[in-house]
Structure 1
Amino acid sequence: MKKLFTILLSAIFLCSLNSCKINGNFKGLYSYYETTKKENPGLFIKNDNKICSLKYSKNIFIINGKSLKDCLQEDDKSLVYIWGPKCSSKVCIPLSSVQEYCTRKNIRLYIVAEYFDSEMMNKEYAIERPILGIDTEYYKTNLTKKYLTAFINDIAQTNYSEKRYLYFEKGELKDVQEEILLYHN
């Protein structure tokens, strides 16, 4: 009787597994670089050269943190915005709003995509410089937290704190904030 009960309970458990389902996607957990590249092959430009003087284009420039660090050192004031293309939180404000804020405050803006998304990256934005994508091959991982941590360490010699706004003066990290509204320079 005990054996029959165990078999019956196991069968019910296995049947319930078929009805388990996760709705949605895992955007933000993985980079989705390869998927996005397949969906839109001309979107990305791998760039190991100077990116400091790039003007806006619809292309996403794939870089590592050391390339961006060079630019940050040239700028009196700069802001790195870690942009989540599908983020709808109050801390993820439209790119044009961040650009307007930085223009008003005379801060050079660098938008770095947290992960890749073909739909959102294929749109036109009212920004001065192209969106930058993190080179997942350079960091040898497709896991967002790992390559983002390494990238932030390259530009700021600090660990990624999951805050989206990093403020620099002459390449030196001065502030890390969750919301842009907290900047009163």
Structure 2
Amino acid sequence: MTAAERTLRRGPLLIVLLAASVAWTSCDLASAGNTAILNSDSSIPPTVRHRFEYAEGEISEAGQVEVVSTVTSSSDLDDVLSENLGASRSDVVDARIDSVRIERVSAPSLRDADVFLGADAECPRVAQVTSFPDGASFVVDDTSTPVLEAVRNDEVRTLYGRFGLESAGDGAVQAKVYYRLKVEGV
């Protein structure tokens, strides 16, 4: 048998092996397709913007103010899940806050900040900044915090902020919360 004849005989065998390999790979990829992760790289990222506003009279003698936020972004997590995947909060199997960007909008210089997911300091802390660099307009706390129950129970619309200020005066602080959501069944 010549080399050319051996090659012709192996051709169908190689095609069968290649087809089996492709079929096995696509089954594996199809099973992986049931889970999706949304994060800051998603086409519509799961982020929520909050704004904290306070008046000078709310600042304590120690230069601290405690404020409940209002949501300032046009989309909430329900919209993000629906628009990205056609999913809902009940499809989320893991939820974390990847990071929180705390930005001084019109506040006097910030000394420190504690931000909690909910309406008071008894809720989970999602960001803690012990000092702001001189002149910095924002700081990012990238401590990953698990928040699955809060996401499932729609408890992500309010943040409670406790801010230390360098000086008194009316002010506003913004917090942009970056979520990482793992969704099954999509």
TM-score, length basis structure 2: 0.33
Q: Which has the larger radius of gyration?
A: 2
TM-score, length basis structure 1: 0.33
User: Which structure has greater helix proportion?
Assistant: 1
- More contact order relative to length (CA 8 Å, sep ≥ 6): 2
